[in-house]
Structure 1
Amino acid sequence: MASKRALIVVHSYFVRDTRPRRLAAALTDAGWTVDVVCARDEGEPRAQTVNGVRIHRLPARRRRGGKGRYAFEYISFTLMALAKVTGLWLRRRHRAIYVLGIPNFLVFSALVPRLGGSRVLLDMRDPLPEFFEAKYRLSEAHPLVRGLLAEERISARFAAQVVTVHHTMATLYERSVPAAKIGVVMNAPDPRVFAVEGNAQRDRSDRTMLYAGTVASRYGVDLALRALALLRNEIPALRLRVVGDGDLVPELRAVARAEHLEDRVSFDGPVPLEAIPRIVQAAWIGVQPNRDDPLMRYSLSTKVLEWCLLGLPVVAGETRPLLELFTKDELFFHAPEDLDAMCDRIREANGDPVALGERVERARTAAGRISFATEAAALLRLVAGDPGH
C-alpha cells in the first residue's frame, strides 16, 4: 500500500472535465500512477491511456432529463463504478481513491478499498441540495432537498477527507462535516494550457463577446443574447460567440431568430480544452452573467480565471467567491440578472480602450495569485494525508 498509486472516480467524460484532468496531471507530475474510472461518451474507447493516465470508461452516457433520469444515472453509475473500482483495486492496491461528486454517494464505490486501508477522498465541488433547489425551484424544506442534505452528510462522513473548490464552499460544507476535515484545492488554470501565445493579436475593431462552458439557464447566457439585442445599434460590430453545449441552446437559437440576430450569434458546441486559449485570445470580452439562485451564489467559474490570465476583459454577475477574489476595478461586475447593468458594463468596456487595458492587467495580477503549483501542492498533501494542510 506504500506505492504511489491513485484511482480517480468521476461521473463525467474525463477528457472534457477540467478539474479531474488537472488533479490527474498534478498526481502524475509528482510521480503517482493514476487510474481513472469515468463515463463513456459516444465514440470513446472503453480503455485508453492519455498523458500517462489510464482511463477506464463505463457504459454510462449522460443524458438530460427530469429528476427520475438523474436518479437512474447516479445510481446505475455508482453500482458500475463499485464493481470496477473493486476490481482495479484488487489488482493494483491503490493507496488513495479520489472520488468527485456529483453524486456524493459515488464515494461508496470505494467501499472495498476503504475496508482494505486505502485513503478515500470525496471532492464536493457542487452542493447537490442547492443544485436541485435552483434547477427545480424547490424550497429548503422540500423533502428532496432535505434528503440530499442527508446524502451530503452521510457521504462526507464516509470519506477520510473532504475536498472542495474554494473557501466560501468550504464554509458551506461545515453544515455536514467538521471544518478540520475539509480541504480546499482551487481550480487554478494550468499554465501549460493557458499561456498567452506570443503571436496572438486581437483585432482592435472586433467586438465579439465570448461565453464558454455549459449553456444552462443558471449561467444567464440568455442575458448576453438580450444585451446583444439591446446594444446592436449602439455598438454595430457587437457579436456573441457561444462555445459549449447545454439545455438552453435550443431556446437561445429561437431567441436569436426572433430578434433577427442569426448573423451576430454563433454556436460552436463543445471544443477540446486545448482549443480554448486561442478562442479566448480572439475575443473582445468574456461574459459570465450568472443568475441569482441558491447554487450560483457559491459559483466560482474557472473560466473567469482563465480569461483573466489570457488578458480577456470579463463582464460578470456578482457571486460571493468572485467578490472575494476580484475588485470592481478588475472585473466589470453587475448584479445577477440585471440586464440594464450588464449593458452599462459592456458600454463601459467599449468606451475607453486605455482604461480597458489597465483593467485587464489588474485582473491578470489578481488571477495570478491563484497558483497552479500551489494548488497542486495542496492536493498532494491532502491525498497523502499530511496533517499540515
Structure 2
Amino acid sequence: MTSTTSGGDRCCSTSRSSCARFLRCSRGEVCRRVDRVLVISQSHLARDPRVRRTVRVLLDDGWQVEGLFLDARQVGENLRTWRFPLDHKRNGVLRYLVEYSSFFVWSLLWVVWRVLVGRPALVYVNSPPDLLVFAALPARLLGVPVVLDEHDPMPELFAAKGRRSVITRRLLLAQERWSIRFANRVITVHEPLQQLFESRVPGVPIDVIMNVPDLEGWDSVSWDAGSRVLVFTGTVAVRYGLDDVIRAMSLTYRKIPGIRLRVVGDGEDLEALKALAGELGVEDRLDCVGRVDHQEIPSFLAGAWVGVNVPKPDELGSLSFSNKIVEWVMLGFPVIAGRTQTLLRYFPEGTLLYVDPGSPESIAERLVELDQMGRDDVERNLERARAAVAQIAWPIQRANLIRVIRETVGA
C-alpha cells in the first residue's frame, strides 16, 4: 500500500516490487520517485570512457538512466540500455552517412517511445554527430531540457580524416551552430574547445567537463626504468602520429637497442602502420595487442618505459587533449607528447616530455634524451605532472557535471 506525500514523494510499506515504477525504497521508509535521464551516444558504452563516466555519475547521483548505444542490451536496477544494430565500419563517406542517418532515425523513434512511456527529466546527447541532438526533439517539445556533450569539433574531425572540401566544411559548421543553439545546455571537453565553440556561436555559453579518467578499481602499475617499451593505447590512426613514432623508432633502435612499441587498441590504420614498420625494418619491434577491456589496460602498461601521444599538427591535433595522457601520469608513467597550446594550458613545460608534432626527428631526439636521463630527473618531471593533474582531476569534473545536470533540470 502506498500513500502520496507532498512533492510527489511516496511511502512504501511493503516490498520494492509493490512500489510504483522507478521508485527506490525499502520496508517502512519514505522514498522518492526516481526521475529518468535518456542518454544517447553512437558509441559503445563499454569502450567510450567519457560516456561511461557520465552514466556512472547519473546513477550515483540517484537518476535512473535509459540509454541507446551500440552495445548489447543491459538491464539493471536503475540502468536500462538498448542496442542500435549497426556497428561502426569506417569505410568511407557513404558509410558514415548511412551510419549517422540510420542512428539518427533510430534515436528519434526511441525517444518518441520513451517519452510515451513517461516524461523524462533530461535528455543527454553525445556527439558526434552534432545533429544527433535533434533526435531529442519529441522530448524538447514537451519542455524536457536537452544537454549536448560536444566531444570533438566536427569540421576539424572530418578535415583530419581527409574531407577538406569547402562545401563540406560549411555544412559541418552550419550543423554545429544549429545543434548548439538547439540544446538547453552545451558541454565540451576543455577550455580551448569551449572558446572555439563560443566564437562560432556567439551568445551561447559552453560548460567544460574535462575528459579525464577515473581510475577507481584499476591495478597499480608504474614505469619500468630498465625497459625500453613505448606504449600507445587507443584508436590506431595515423592522425594520432603513430607513423611518426614508428619512424622515430627506426631512427633510434641502434642507439637504444631494446626499444619497442606496444600498441593497445585497433583502428582503420593498423595494417598501414604494420606495413610501414616492415618497410623501415622495425616490424619485429612493433607489438599490436588489439582492443582490450578498459579494466585490462594496466596489465598491458606493466613493464612499459614511456607513453607516447603525438597527434598530427593539424587543426584537430592542436585541439587534442587525450585522456590517455592523464591516465599515464596518474599511473606514474612519463609521457612523450606533441607540444600544443591546448596541452601547455594544463601541462606546462617540465611536466610532459614535449616534442614537435609531426616530426619523427624530434621524437627520436627526445627518446635518446630520455634514455640518458637519470631516474631522479624523470621522477621530478612526473611529480610536476601529477601536480598538474591534481588541478583537473576527475573528482573536480564529477562535481561540475553533477552541478550542470542539476541546474539544467532545475531550470
> Structure 1 residue 124: deviation in Å?
0.9
- Give the 3 Å change call, closer, same or farther, for CA 50–368 of structure 1 in structure 2: farther
Equivalent residue, structure 1, for 2:82: 56
What is the CA RMSD across the aligned residues, in angstroms? 2.1
Moved more, 315-324 or 232-241: 315-324
2:268 counterpart of 1:247: yes
Deviations 1:114-163 (A, max 9, x none): 11121101111101111122222526xx0110011000011111110111
Of 59, 69, 74, 1:28 maps to: 59
Equivalent residue, structure 2, for 1:144: 168
How many Å separate the matches in 2 of 1:137 and 1:39?
A: 25
Equivalent residue, structure 2, for 1:77: 103
2:293 counterpart of 1:272: yes
How many Å separate the matches in 1 of 2:147 and 2:336?
A: 35
> Structure 1 residue 385: deviation in Å?
2.4
Alignment of 1:146-185 (within 5 A): 146-178=170-202, 180-185=204-209
Equivalent residue, structure 2, for 1:37: 68
Instruction: Write the letter of the residue equivalent to 1:70.
Output: Y
CA contact (8 A) 1:119 1:383 kept: no
Deviations 1:207-230 (A, max 9, x none): 100011111111001111111111
2:143 counterpart of 1:117: yes
- Larger of the two Rg values belongs to structure: 2
Equivalent residue, structure 2, for 1:385: 407
> Structure 1 residue 201: deviation in Å?
5.9
Instruction: Write the letter of the residue equivalent to 2:93.
Output: K
> Structure 1 residue 378: deviation in Å?
1.2
Of 24, 27, 37, 1:6 maps to: 37
CA contact (8 A) 1:210 1:242 kept: yes
2:112 counterpart of 1:86: yes
Moved more, 369-378 or 14-23: 369-378
Deviations 1:146-182 (A, max 9, x none): 0110000111111101110001100000134345531
Secondary structure of the corresponding residue to residue 281 of structure 2: coil
CA contact (8 A) 2:223 2:332 kept: no
Instruction: Write the letter of the residue equivalent to 1:12.
Output: S
CA contact (8 A) 1:228 1:238 kept: yes
- Give the 3 Å change call, closer, same or farther, for CA 127–138 of structure 1 in structure 2: same
Moved more, 30-39 or 96-105: 30-39
- Give the 3 Å change call, closer, same or farther, for CA 261–334 of structure 1 in structure 2: same
CA contact (8 A) 2:184 2:408 kept: no
Of 189, 211, 215, 2:213 maps to: 189
Secondary structure of the corresponding residue to residue 385 of structure 1: helix
> Structure 1 residue 51: deviation in Å?
8.8
CA contact (8 A) 2:181 2:204 kept: no
- Give the 3 Å change call, closer, same or farther, for CA 51–236 of structure 1 in structure 2: farther
Deviations 1:74-121 (A, max 9, x none): 111100111112212321422010000111110111111111121101
Work out the number of aligned pairs and report it: 379
Q: What runs of 5+ residues in structure 2 fail to find an aligned partner?
A: 1-7, 9-32
Equivalent residue, structure 2, for 1:330: 351
How many Å separate the matches in 1 of 2:255 and 2:203?
A: 50
Equivalent residue, structure 1, for 2:366: 345
> Structure 1 residue 5: deviation in Å?
1.7
Of 127, 130, 146, 2:153 maps to: 127
CA contact (8 A) 2:145 2:409 kept: no
Equivalent residue, structure 2, for 1:285: 306
> Structure 1 residue 203: deviation in Å?
4.2
> Structure 1 residue 3: deviation in Å?
4.4
CA contact (8 A) 2:55 2:65 kept: yes
Moved more, 278-287 or 322-331: 278-287
2:233 counterpart of 1:228: no
> Structure 1 residue 69: deviation in Å?
1.6
- Give the 3 Å change call, closer, same or farther, for CA 175–71 of structure 1 in structure 2: farther
Moved more, 217-226 or 371-380: 371-380
Secondary structure of the corresponding residue to residue 81 of structure 2: strand
- Give the 3 Å change call, closer, same or farther, for CA 203–166 of structure 1 in structure 2: closer
CA contact (8 A) 1:37 1:85 kept: no
Equivalent residue, structure 2, for 1:358: 380
Secondary structure of the corresponding residue to residue 337 of structure 2: strand
CA contact (8 A) 2:38 2:122 kept: yes
- Give the 3 Å change call, closer, same or farther, for CA 120–359 of structure 1 in structure 2: same
How many Å separate the matches in 1 of 2:222 and 2:137?
A: 52
- Give the 3 Å change call, closer, same or farther, for CA 28–178 of structure 1 in structure 2: farther
Secondary structure of the corresponding residue to residue 136 of structure 1: coil
Equivalent residue, structure 1, for 2:398: 376
> Structure 1 residue 359: deviation in Å?
0.9
Q: What runs of 5+ residues in structure 1 fail to find an aligned partner?
A: none
Deviations 1:300-349 (A, max 9, x none): 00100111111110001122221101122010111111111111111121
